Amino acid sequence: MSIHRTAIVEDGAVLGDGCVIHAHAHVTRHCVLGDGVVVHPGAVIGGDPQDLSFDPQLATFVRIGARSVLREHVTINRASKAGLATELGADCYLMTASHLGHDCQVADRVIMANAVLLAGHVHVGERAFIGGAAAVHQFVRIGEGVMLGGLARITRDIPPFTMAAERDELVGLNVVGLRRRGLKGTVVAELKAAFRTVCGPIGNPRELAAGALASGSFQSAESRRFLEFFAGGRRGFLRVRGAGDPAGGGAD
């Protein structure tokens, strides 16, 4: 473990083996850091929620998974309800000045580029990539394997394995990302079919996804996770707006 002499690590913070806390970083007593977490200069981890109704006396937490890297001036606020934690998974990389609001739940291997802003209660699935200066509304869910473009403004849920950009614009499937994960062609084809079934401009996505699951036509774990995503949430879903093949999502 390495803690720079100008860093602040409050009494009660829990740091795993091999953590590195750089100069002028601040880790509050509300934090639990896994093995090998790196916190760069100016980061503040475990600060109070930006919620005017919050009681600072509440015991709430931040939990960071092993080997995650928090670059300069990253801020992660602790949870807003007693006993709960804002959570960042393992092997994540948060670039300079990115922000996790209170009660966010971010899964493993997520990358957030510079100045990304996640409001409170946002959920992010594993292997998602969020482009620079993207801003995400509270309670939004970003699915597994999503690629979100820089400067995007997102107020609705983004289905797994897709690409999104601009103001709530669903672009298509993240086909390049799927292939880089080594998924078989049959799995990609099922995901394309599921996407076309649910994410077009017509119909209720929840009902369409439930019907697709009930049909038994989708057998891969990935296509079923895609369809099951539509059973949850409270913000509504991004939909394809343009013409053409909405499931293309990248070069073949």
Of 73, 102, 121, 123, which one is the catalytic site residue? 102
Q: Is 148 within a domain?
A: yes
Residue ranges making up the domain that contains 109: 2-175
pTM of the model: 0.94
Q: What is the pLDDT of residues 108-129, one digit of tens each?
A: 999 999 999 999 999 999 999 9
Angle between helices 205-215 and 221-228 (to 10 degrees): 150
- Is 35 domain-assigned? yes
In whole angstroms, give the CA distance from residue 160 to residue 249.
13
- Please, is 16 exposed, middle or buried when counting C-beta atoms within 10 Å of its C-beta (0-12, 13-18, 19+)? middle
Given the residues 120, 125, 143, 177, the one annotated as active site: 120
223 within a domain of the structure (yes/no): no
What percentage of the chain reaches a pLDDT higher than 70? 96
Cα distance from N-terminal residue to C-terminal residue, the chain:
45
**Domains: count for the chain:** 1
- Sign of the CA dihedral 160, 166, 167, 169? negative
Q: Residue 83: which H helix or E strand, with range?
A: none
| 29 within some domain | yes
Please provide the average confidence, as pLDDT, over all residues in the chain.
Answer: 95
- Greater confidence, 241 or 13? 13
**Residue 26: inside a domain, yes or no?**
yes
Q: Which amino acid is at 146?
A: V
**CATH code at position 160:** 2.160.10.10
Nearest to 47 by CA among 31, 67, 23: 31
Residue 123 annotated to the active site: no
* 51 in active site: no
* Residue 194: burial class (beta carbons within 10 Å; 0-12, 13-18, 19+): buried
Rounded to whole angstroms, the Cα distance separating 55 from 44 reads: 19
192 located within any domain:
no
CB 114 within 8 A of CB 96: yes
248, pLDDT greater than 90: no
Q: Is residue 135 part of a domain?
A: yes
Q: How many CB atoms lie within 10 A of CB 226?
A: 29
In this prediction, residue 5 has a pLDDT band, given cuts at 50, 70 and 90, of very high
Whether residue 189 lies inside any domain: the answer is no
Residues facing residue 237 across a β-bridge: 157
pLDDT tens-digit map of 122-164:
999 999 999 999 999 999 999 999 999 999 999 999 999 999 9
Q: Which residues lie across from 62 on neighbouring strands?
A: 31, 86
Active-site residue, 103 included: yes
Distance CA(46)–CA(44), nearest Å, equals 7
The single residue of 22, 26, 99, 103 carrying the catalytic annotation is 103
